[in-house]
Amino acid sequence: MAVLSPFRAVRPDPRSAAHVAAVPYDVVNTDEARALAVGNPLNFLHVSRAEIDLPVETDPHSGAVYELAVDNYERLKHDAPMLTEETPSVYAYRLRADGHEQTGIAACYSLDEYERDRIKKHERTRRDKEDDRTRHLVDLRAQTGPVFLVYRAAAAIEAIVARVAGSAPLYDFAAADGVQHTVWRVAPRDMASLVECFAALPALYIADGHHRAASAARARRELRGDSGTAGECDTFLAVAFPDSQVRILPYNRVVRDLGGMTSASLLRALGERFTIGKGSAVPERRGDVSMFLDDEWHTLTLGAAGHDVSPADRLDVSRLQHEVLTAVLGIGDVRTDPRIDFVGGIRGTASLESMVKTGRAAVAFSMYPTAVDDLMTIADAGGIMPPKSTWFEPKLRDGLLIHEI
């Protein structure tokens, strides 16, 4: 089952929603966040990435950053202004971009279920990133950006969502990147039905936001202490989408140098292991990887994966990691090796070409996207996907719905 809980959202006045809404804190670096928020004091990045309002040399994990985040949040409540719902509610949240549309249910979800693996994970988290968001949560006493969940599509939920989407929205605006964000408050009768429908789901899956969820669990332990008293900190803010609607873009790879090899010796080494030939920038099917080297695209055909390997090891990103990046190019731990970097599919293959042509990388790999069914299969088996396996697009926005704890 999946426990869905209404909550008293803190949310911007509809007239300022488009100004408050911000990209997730973890998809931009400090410089990018500063550029996005410049000239807009309402942008939620002033809260989620408060270091942008301090000198450039400021450590983003210093105490001053978290103190300023609290101050900026209180100021935003007044200036936006931010409204607090009188009664707990559930929301429908639709994303539209480039002809794609997906609608999820924004609510609070159970941290007990998360810790018992009934809300399933596919990714390991890093302690330093957990430390950052845990302190942010505890200092603000608020979950300010939603986790992205996926569930196996259910007709009963879709019927309710369709009915809700026929009502007047709370918000409906296009962000600067062209994504249309529409949010509705769910009527009490439909809210009760959604609670029942979610209770019948076999599982929920974290698609994006593992660090947010892990930090919410740690914040709960800190805030509850020894009292064990139940409260708002027992749930976490998330939007759950049906698997039939979510869109995964590839997560591409670039390698800074060839580890002492020449382009010719790299092609020979790869040719001894795989079928390789001239190709296009985008792989046509699973099992193919496009490689940009010396101003040319090549198609690297990995071939069929063995039946004796795990679902996670059958993924193209896993096979590239083990059979090419490690075995041929000598990349160590892809989480920490400075020779490798990852480029979200939203940036397109032109960005890969540019990085190689300008010398910022020696070779680039354009991947075929991982399927959402792969994610759920691996999570069901208790497996872990390789780092940077999925890029979900479009992204939810921080600051539109806040859960104070």
Show pLDDT as tens, one digit a residue, over the chain (405 residues). 799 999 999 999 999 999 999 999 999 999 999 999 999 999 999 999 999 999 999 999 999 999 999 999 999 999 999 999 999 999 999 999 999 999 999 999 999 999 999 999 999 999 999 999 999 999 999 999 999 999 999 999 999 999 999 999 999 999 999 999 999 999 999 999 999 999 999 999 999 999 999 999 999 999 987 555 568 999 999 999 999 999 999 999 999 999 999 999 999 999 999 999 999 999 999 999 999 999 999 999 998 777 778 999 999 999 999 999 999 999 988 888 999 999 999 999 999 999 999 999 999 999 999 999 999 999 999 999 988 999 999 999 999 999 999
Q: What is the value of pTM for the model shown?
A: 0.93
Q: Alpha helix locations (H) across 91-209?
A: 111-115, 127-140, 155-164, 188-199
In whole angstroms, what separates CA 195 from the centre of its chain?
A: 25
Strand, helix or coil at 263?
Answer: helix
pLDDT score for 8:
98
Of 79, 114, 68, residue with least CA distance to 238 = 114
pLDDT score for 129:
94
Q: In CATH, what class is 251-368?
A: alpha beta
- For residues 38 and 47, the answer to whether their CB atoms sit within 8 Å is no
Angstrom distance (rounded) from CA 42 to CA 65: 17
Decide: residue 220, CB within 10 A, 0-12 exposed, 13-18 middle, 19+ buried: buried
> Which tokens in the block code for residue 262?
């020449």
Considering the chain, tell me which residue range(s) the CATH 3.30.1760 domain(s) occupy.
251-368
- For residues 56 and 78, the answer to whether their CB atoms sit within 8 Å is no
Q: Alpha helix locations (H) across 273-358?
A: 316-320, 348-357
pLDDT score for 192:
97
Sign of CA dihedral 131, 177, 57, 140: negative
Task: Count Cα atoms within 13 angstroms, Cβ side, for 5.
Answer: 18
pLDDT score for 224:
85
In whole angstroms, what separates CA 383 from the centre of its chain?
A: 19
